[in-house]
Structure 1
Amino acid sequence: MSVAPVSLAADKRATRFWLVAAASLLVVQVLSLALMGRVPICECGYVKLFEPGVNTAGNSQHISDWYTPSHIIHGFLFYFAATMLLRRASFGARLTLAVLVEMAWELLENSPIIIERYRTATMAIGYQGDSILNSAMDTVAMALGFLFASRAPVWLTIALAIGFEIVTALVIRDNLTLNVLMLVWPVEAIKAWQAAL
C-alpha cells in the first residue's frame, strides 16, 4: 500500500523537473535572442495583444499575429511526432523536447541568413526578425498547441489545424504550409499571388 504514494510523489517530482526544464529553455531562448541583438519589444514602444498587419513594422513584434496559428500547429505536430517516436517518455519529457525544437527554430529564424531568406524568397519583404517578446510567445503558442493536442480528440486537432491553414491563407495569403514551401522551394506564382494582397 505504501508504493502508490511514493510513486505519486516521484511522478510529481518528475513532472516538476520537466516543467522547470521547459521553462528554463524558454529563458535560454530569451537570453540568446538578447545576445543576438534582437529588440525586446516592438520599436514602436508599446505592446499589443494582436498585430493585424502582415507587411507592417509591427508584424512579428507583438504578443501575437497572423503567424501565431502556425506555431500552435507546430505544437500539434510535435505532440503527434513525440507520441509516435517517444512512446515511453513522459509527457513532461516530450513537452520539453518540443520546447527545445521550437527554441532552436526561433533562434535559427532570427539569424541573419534566415531573415535574408525570408526577404528574398517569401512575401516577407521587409522582415527584420522577431522581437524577443514575439519569439517567446511563439514558443508559448507551440506549447499551448502541444497541450491542446494532448487533451483533444485527434479529429478535432486535425480539423483545427486545417481551419487555421484555410483562414490564414484567405486572410493573409500565407500559412504554415506556404511559409515552409516558400522558404525551402520558392514558387514565383505563389510569391506573385501573395504580393497582390
Structure 2
Amino acid sequence: MVRITLALGDITAEKADALVNAANSSLLGGGGVDGAIHRRGGPEILAACEELRRSHYGKGLPAGRAVATTAGKLDAGHVIHTVGPVWSREEDRSELLASCYRESLRVADELGARTVAFPAISTGVYGWPMEDGARIAVSTVRAARTEVEEVRFVLYDEAAYETFRTVAGADE
C-alpha cells in the first residue's frame, strides 16, 4: 500500500524519483506549477516537451493523460506531466481528475519510481474546489495498484495543506 505524506511548500524544491507537473495541454509551460517546473528545471524540460509535441502529441496532451520527460535541473529523476480538467458546475469531470493521478502512477511504475511528489492538480487556475480535489486525489492514490512506495502531496499554502491533512486523516 502506498504511504501518503504531505509537505507544505514549493514542489520544485522537492527531492523525489518523479515530480508531477500540473501541465497545460500544450506541454510547453505556462503559469502556476507548470511554469515553476519549467523555469526551475531549465530548458531540457521544454526541449523534451517540444519533442513530444513533434512525435506523439501534435495536438497536445489530453486531460487525464500523463507522460514523462527529463527533470532537467530539478532534484528528481523525471517529471511526469499530466493535464487536469478545468472544473465545471455543469459537467462532472471527477473521473478525468482521478485519471490524472492513476495515469501518473502508471507512468511512475514504468519508470521504476518509488517516490512521487504531486501538486493538488486542477485546484489552482483550473478552479477545482480544494476539498473535492483533495478527496479525489487521496482516494485515487489509496485505490491505485502501484509499485510506488510514497506519494507526497506538496501543497502550496497552509489552507491547501490543512484540507489535504483533514482528507488524508491518519495516513499523513
Specify which structure has the higher proportion of strand.
2
The structure having more radius of gyration, on CA atoms, is 1
Normalised to the residue count of structure 1, the TM-score between the two structures is 0.28
Specify which structure has the higher proportion of helix.
1
Normalised to the residue count of structure 2, the TM-score between the two structures is 0.30
